């Protein structure tokens, strides 16, 4: 299975003020650039119209971020260890500089896809919908299926949500490592410590998740 870099993100749930987290502020406080720094900043404005509202995204220092009232979202351009650590470090700097911002959780998100899944990997989806398939009228065929499972460690400091999906040709596995936090110290321990990395290093193997 291939890791999809565009689906890799770090999300800090809380109450965020977009007026503070401008690109210039983020460069200075998250990436520790001097105030006069002239780093390139790209702005991606939503093109959709209608009832769906999307928030602007900013690309700086090899990462993209967006600010919502309920979440700060960082996504590295690459999914290698150095890029992931860079995002964690930058986010940790923001949390420490804004200690009065309420923070309620930190999530690491990854997605893997198999464009040519072997038949054995489809068995779990067949089993998950078999009772429904048996009840469908003649002439109907299955198109997609998803299996969602959640786990938590003994002290409930880490929740792992795994979503496996099949659309008839592609199998995807999404991992969400969620850390409930209530203080800057707890958030800092997740972002700077090895809590999340220990979970991801010990997570189930991706083929095994499909058996």
String of DSSP letters for 82-150: HHHHHHHHHHHHHHHH-TTS-EEEEEEEEEEEESS--GGGGHHHHHHHHHHHHHSPTT-----EEEEEE
Evaluate if pTM is beyond 0.85: no
Model confidence pLDDT, tens digit, residues 54-81? 789 999 999 999 999 999 999 999 888 8
- Judge whether 109 and 8 are in contact, CB under 8 Å: yes
Q: Are 156 and 180 in contact (CB under 8 A)?
A: yes
Burial of 113 (0-12, 13-18, 19+ CB in 10 A): middle
Tokens at 49, concatenated: 């119209």
Distance, in Å, from the CA atom of 76 to the CA atom of 185, rounded to the nearest integer, reads 24
Tens-digit pLDDT profile for residues 117-160: 877 777 888 888 888 888 889 888 888 889 999 999 999 999 99
CA distances from 210 to 62, 65, 128, 171 (A): 33, 32, 12, 9
Between 48 and 180, name the one with better pLDDT.
Answer: 180
Q: Is the pLDDT of residue 205 over 60?
A: no
pLDDT band of 15, cuts 50, 70, 90: very high
Q: Which residues contact 91 (CB under 8 A, 6 or more apart)?
A: 10, 12, 30, 72, 74, 191
Residue with tokens 């109907």: 140
Which pLDDT belongs to residue 51?
54
Q: What percent of the chain has pLDDT over 90?
A: 53
Angle at 111 between CA 141 and CA 149, to 5 degrees: 65
- Report which DSSP code applies to 205: P
**DSSP for residue 210:** G
In sequence order, the 6+-apart residues with CB closer than 8 A to the CB of 57 are 43, 44, 64, 65, 66
Residue 143: what pLDDT?
83
Predicted confidence band at 47 (pLDDT cuts at 50, 70, 90)? low
Q: What per-residue confidence (pLDDT) applies to 104?
A: 95
Q: What is the mean pLDDT of the chain?
A: 86
């Amino acid at each position: 299975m291939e890791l999809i870099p565009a689906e890799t993100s770090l999300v800090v749930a809380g109450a965020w003020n977009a007026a503070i987290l401008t690109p210039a502020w983020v460069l200075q406080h998250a990436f520790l650039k001097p105030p006069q720094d002239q780093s390139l900043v790209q702005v991606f404005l939503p093109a959709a119209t209608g009832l769906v509202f999307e928030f602007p995204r900013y690309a700086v220092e090899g990462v993209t971020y967006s600010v919502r009232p309920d979440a700060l979202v960082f996504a590295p351009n690459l999914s290698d260890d150095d890029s992931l650590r860079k995002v964690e470090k930058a986010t940790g700097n923001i949390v420490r500089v804004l200690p009065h911002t309420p923070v309620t959780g930190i999530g690491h998100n990854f997605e893997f896809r198999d464009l040519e899944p072997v038949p054995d990997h489809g068995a779990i989806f067949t089993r998950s919908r078999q009772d429904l398939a048996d009840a469908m009228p003649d002439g109907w065929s299955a198109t997609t299926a998803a299996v969602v499972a959640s786990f938590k460690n003994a002290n409930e400091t880490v929740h792992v949500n795994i979503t496996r999906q099949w659309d008839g040709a592609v199998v995807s596995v999404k991992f969400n490592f969620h850390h409930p936090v209530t203080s800057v110290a707890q958030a800092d321990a997740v972002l700077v410590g090895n809590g999340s990395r220990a979970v991801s290093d010990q997570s189930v193997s991706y083929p095994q998740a499909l058996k």
